[in-house]
Structure 1
Amino acid sequence: MTLAPFVQILGRGQGRARSLDQDEARAAMTAMLAHDAAPEAIGAILMLMRMKGETAQEIAGFAAAAKASLGEWVGTRPGLDWPCYAAGRTRGLPWFLLSARLVAAAGVPVLLHGWNSHQSRGASVRTTLPMIGLRVARDPTGAARDLAHDGIAYLPLEALAPGLMNLLRLRDTLGLRSCINTVCRMLNPGGAHAAVQGVFHPPYRELQADAGALLGLDRLSVLKGGGGEFEHHPGKDIALFGLRDGRRWTGTAPHVTAGHRRLADAPSDPQALAEIWSGTLQHPFAEAIILSTAALALDAAGVDAPHRTARALWDARNRHIAA
């Protein structure tokens, strides 16, 4: 299918151009993922959308088509979808990985998926996974197997959706971020009923909440998090946007620590992730990041008394990191 009609819709000129509706966006993404899609047309669509700003209908249509291209998820399904696509940066170590482990310990299977191994400075999500006993799944079947065995899995985008990965990598050619970053966050490959999402730019909180509603998500929490990941700064009151029972919802993540601190003020040595989990290192600020983020994720998943539950799970956590 040619992409020309979609370029025409978006680029007709002042007063004539318009956004794609959800069905058009789904058809456009289906065509962009085809092996014979014209790269010039793909670039035109992505940059025209960047110039005007994406709509929830466009993001939902793109995400629905991208998910349909994956095929049916087979095996254990996640209870919580946790995308991590913020270039691996969390203004420090990815403490949210330990938060995800706590959520899994609560009996909520957590699917992490993302693209983070390209980070050039510090510790990426991908490189720190082995330090805290998590594996990188080779494919969706392997991720489902990890969910069944460990209650948590990490599935890299290149193993999940190579075609979408190619679109995401167009940033290297175009020199600019595109809406594909947002589409990846909305992908929810395992069909979880709940999701958490981080953003770097605040306007995307409502955009992603509205797209989630169009995609039929039941529960969703979106925040402006550390480096764009779903990671709460415990020293700040942070606005939350999302869904509860499929309807728009807003809330606040209150501060739990005093004083002005940056996320980067927590330990920076990647080994600290394992040491804090095992208890050989105590760092109140890092623990506050982990616990407050876990509580928000537990709330998104519908777990009662999320703050108390996060604390109880932390106090009872496994003291030994698997090799």
Structure 2
Amino acid sequence: MSDDFDDFDLPEPPRIDQGAEGLLDQAGIDALFGQVGGFGQPKQGLRAVIESNVISRERLPMLEVVFDRMVRIFATSMRNLTSDAIDVSLEEVTSIRFGDYLNHIMLPAMIGVFRVEEWENYGLVTVDSGLIYAVVDALLGGRRGGEPLMIDGRGFTTIETDLVSRMLGHVLSDLSTSMAPITPTTIELERVESSPRFVAIAGTTNVCAVATFRVDMDERGGSFSILLPYATIEPVRHLLNQRFMGEKLGRDTIWESHMASEVRKVDVTLDVLLGERDMELGVVRDFKVGQTIPLFADPDQPLDMQCGGVTIGRAQIGQRSNKIAVRLVSDIAKEKRA
């Protein structure tokens, strides 16, 4: 019996022409790495994976609490600085790559570079033009209301930079105060730049946490953002990962207090070493009842007081109420142990 499929020819599978030397042609390279198209063309192949903007963000609950607490503190600082009605709000806390953050800064702007002494690393504070002119107008007594007049291409003057630096000082001081319940921090403003090219404190692909704040004052205002690279907050990431402030990570405070109270009730045996002398085993074997062993020690010389064979202090021997007693002559906590 003949097979019905004997005369049926299967088509050849598609292959990429690798040439005589087994190399991929241009079509194969484009298919593998992704063809470079025009603006708006979707990325394909490995290019889509490498240049992906999707960031796996690690949520830091305590960092959000810090920024939320900073809203209330900074609003009070700005009221005292400008004597105006100030409304501060936290717009968002997100994660972004450092290079993308610099590319999205709307110029003109002022960028403050600050250093956290305890973390030995840097962060950024970016103030947009709207808030810059609003702060300058408020501190110099400008008219309230209306949009500030911006001149394209004009750099910031020394007076404007100094006035905004005062506001940045309050921002960093309030950030340090907000961080204090979690970990003490000392934050110092190092310099203020107007170009993103001079604030490269991290690699372009490094992931950073960014908090954006909105400041409104009498129908004028703007926004500023605080950027903290994940490398900067690495020393305290375990604290910022806590779900609530003061989390003990499984420790039982009731059991700790009970253990501490019971330890104080334990009886401790103390030994006072009257002296030491090296003797041969034959002499020790010939000891007799009533024999006197000289120790060549002065009666007023301080003696070692030991607990479990460890010297914990120095004492003098004496007599009190017809009983042998010892008196401490050194602090136990500060005595250098052998």
Greater Rg by CA? 2
Fold in common (TM above 0.5): no
Query: What TM-score do you get using the length of structure 1 for normalisation?
Result: 0.19
Determine which structure has the larger helix proportion and give its number.
1
Determine which structure has the larger strand proportion and give its number.
2
Query: What TM-score do you get using the length of structure 2 for normalisation?
Result: 0.18
